[in-house]
Amino acid sequence: MLKIKGNYFLLETKHTSMLIKGDERAEYLYYGERVPDFTGAEWLSPETYWQGADHPLSLFTQAGRGDHREPTVSVRFADGSFATDFRFVRARAAARPAAEGLPLAYGEAKCLKLEFLDEPSRLKLCLYYTAFTDSDAITVIASLTNGGKKPVEILSLASLHLEVWGNDYSFTTFDGAWGSERRRHTRPLECGKCETASYIGSSSAFRNPFVLLGREGDVYGVNLVYSGNHREFAESDASRRTRVATGINPCQFSWELAPGETFFAPEAVMVYGKTAGEVSLRMHEFVSRHIIRGKWKDRERPVLVNNWEGTYFSFTREKILAIARKAAEAGAELFVLDDGWFGKRDSDTCSLGDWTDYEEKTGGIESLADEIRAMGLKFGIWVEPEMISEDSELYRKHPEYAMKIARRDPHRQRNQLMLDLADPQVQGYVYRAVSRVIAQCKAAYVKWDYNRFMTDCFDRNVRGGEYFHRYILGLYSVIARLVERFPNVLFESCASGGGRFDLGMLCYMPQVWTSDNTDARERTIIQSGTAYAYPQSTMGAHVSASPNEQTGNSNSLQTRFHVACGGLLGYESDFTKLSDEELEEVRSQIAFYKKYRGVLQFGMYHRLGDAVGGEWSGFITVARDGSKAVAVIAVPEKRTSEFNLRVRFAGLEEGALYHVRYRKADGTLVSVCRASGALLLRGSFPLQDLFAETDVHRFSNPLYTRMFVFEKVAPRKKRS
């Protein structure tokens, strides 16, 4: 909702308000818990700001007007100068811009458009603020339009610059690496800047674009609808203010803006909450309602079985069919054939780009898919379309499709090169190749993988500083066309696990393979970090073999299942190796999951405890009507003679009465008690017999877990 009163603008969501004043420069007056109206706003902006070195809370910073900090809008003019003087011109309610080629949030038609002009150059800066009322998010799109006669070089254009009063904030980022994505790191912001950024062409496993700026009682979550190089920074200064910014990483970026052209920065989103938990809930709402789209948006996602960790590249048709048969017996709904089914792909040294059936291995992909479907399963397939192996037919025919620089030996990762998706011809090739694969095997699901960093960026038709961004625009144009052509296909994005878990990819693909690390202990940390920004309906979570392939830790099937219930359940092992008892246990897990997946996948998600270093952690996901909830508690350590490990729940309805049960490995639900929502929210509850359930001599470095089911019951009537 947008209200305008003179030069004051009020953006309202269900629980938050943002007040902006359009003056000589425009300033933030307030962003936080909802306020009734404009009354008193003028006191927030005293005249004295305009004197001396003191500045208001700005919507952007620029070089040339005495701001001592890094500019968030920065250009180089044809004469080599950098100074700009963007002054506020006007503001009005307007239609949201289309920002051609970029993925955008959807579901609100109107925004607040603020225009600023650098008079001498006629360069125009526009900021479009949209309030997503129902999900408590406000987004910004920034654009620069060259109204002058000479080209201008954009050096940086942050998507969002938010400032707040106070210099007692901390900055939280979600960083890691392959197999340890999105670990939470929080540090106090002392005077100076703190930043997180990606330089490898994708949003990356190293640094997620989601960040938090927080202090007791005030937390701001910021994210970017983008999948390429990004940078977020936070900075406090002696003027007792703190700022946070996000956008395309200015490193190795520049963009030539010809006269009459407009450049749009990716959309950024911000959410305010009193706690990080509140910010997460609001971000989840925003992502679920305004980012995820298409047929699968609110649909329950299928339980899948994927052969990767079970077979890697060495499989035969018989092996795949045998795994699928067991998967069907256990009640799975989708079988995913992973890497190794195409070209001559028996290892990672060849065939990327040759998206043709490896018939000697599959025995014919079409009939294989048919046979799997005949078992009652849907068929899904893995592809890695942005890549090319030098040992491939495609490379032999079109070496110019590969991303490389003349006279330089290209850097290889996993023995592969990347395709130059900045080139429209290559985009066309990828689109056609993937379309063919989907049509040929009638895939119901596609896992879109991406297994290396971008290096050797070059295309003779693209200016160097534009390459990274043009690649991402090329990628978006290909996947936009594919999802439009195959609206029923469920796409899962993957990048060596969770290396491209971002709002850009989520605009096209509703779920992401969270991490290649499927160890239950590590996954509690990765999933809990991921869930700060992204709802559980976006997180692929699989039960894999024990001991775990990545860590060697071993865990019971039950523990592995509990942890996988924090996301979209799948299995990733050789099902033919399961004993009858294990298969029976898996069958009961899948049956349970199907019964509760509505709440597990789409319920309101609350973090419990602290997965990074806490004595216990977990989550509870509560049905939107409060009728039921499922919680999983994970305890990382069994300490000798340490008692009274107690947990507290969240999100339940205060006034409701719940029947609480916990789930045993054989699937039975053991009654614990009936308790009021109010007590469950405030009491500290013991985890009786938790450690006794796990035979510590059977497992190495196990995680101890318990799953609780809460079902609302009508209070017992008093006998008269």
Say how far apart CA 386 and CA 553 lie, in whole Å.
33
181 binds ligand DGJ (CB under 6 A): no
Output the smallest distance, CB 513 to ligand DGJ, in A.
Answer: 5
Q: Closest CB to ligand DGJ among 451 and 705?
A: 451
513 binds ligand DGJ (CB under 6 A): yes
Question: Could you count the other beta carbons within 10 Å of the beta carbon of residue 648?
Answer: 12
Output the smallest distance, CB 245 to ligand DGJ, in A.
Answer: 31
Q: Closest CB to ligand DGJ among 351 and 694?
A: 351
357 is catalytic: no
Instruction: Spell out, one character per residue from 359 to 398, where the chain touches ligand DGJ: x when CB under 6 A holds, - when not.
Output: -----------------------x----------------
Catalytic residue among 136, 459, 516, 519: 516
651 binds ligand DGJ (CB under 6 A): no
449 binds ligand DGJ (CB under 6 A): yes
**Contact predicate 337/367, CB 8 Å:** no
Q: What does the DSSP 8-state code read for residue 689?
A: T
434 binds ligand DGJ (CB under 6 A): no
Catalytic residue among 339, 449, 502, 519: 449
Q: Closest CB to ligand DGJ among 291 and 383?
A: 383
308 binds ligand DGJ (CB under 6 A): yes
516 is catalytic: yes
Output the smallest distance, CB 495 to ligand DGJ, in A.
Answer: 7
DSSP codes joined into one string, 645-675: -EE---S--TT-EEEEEEE-TTS-EEEEEEE
Q: Closest CB to ligand DGJ among 382 and 596?
A: 382
497 binds ligand DGJ (CB under 6 A): yes
Among 232, 285, 371, 516, binds ligand DGJ (CB under 6 A): 516
3-state secondary structure of 281: helix
Say how far apart CA 386 and CA 408 lie, in whole Å.
21
Say how far apart CA 521 and CA 551 lie, in whole Å.
9
Q: Which residues of 147-178 are buried (b: 16+ CB within 10 A; e: fewer)?
A: ebeeebbbbbbbbbbbbbeebebbbbbbbbeb
Q: 663 forms bridges with which residues in the sheet?
A: 669
**Contact predicate 480/537, CB 8 Å:** no
Determine the interface stretch with ligand DGJ among 270-278, 493-501, 609-617, 655-663 (rule: CB under 6 A): 493-501
Say how far apart CA 216 and CA 173 lie, in whole Å.
17
> What residue is closest to ligand DGJ based on CB?
339
Q: Closest CB to ligand DGJ among 308 and 401?
A: 308
Determine the interface stretch with ligand DGJ among 57-65, 128-136, 489-497, 700-708 (rule: CB under 6 A): 489-497
Sign of CA dihedral 672, 678, 682, 683: negative
Count residues near ligand DGJ (CB under 6 A): 11
Say how far apart CA 229 and CA 206 lie, in whole Å.
11
Q: Closest CB to ligand DGJ among 115 and 339?
A: 339
Instruction: Spell out, one character per residue from 257 to 296, where the chain touches ligand DGJ: x when CB under 6 A holds, - when not.
Output: ----------------------------------------
Nearest to 618 by CA among 632, 605, 606: 632
Say how far apart CA 670 and CA 661 lie, in whole Å.
5
Q: Is 598 exposed, middle or buried (0-12, 13-18, 19+ CB in 10 A)?
A: middle
Q: Which residues are catalytic, by number?
A: 449, 516
* Site residues for ligand DGJ per CB under 6 A: 308, 338-339, 382, 449, 451, 494, 496-497, 513, 516
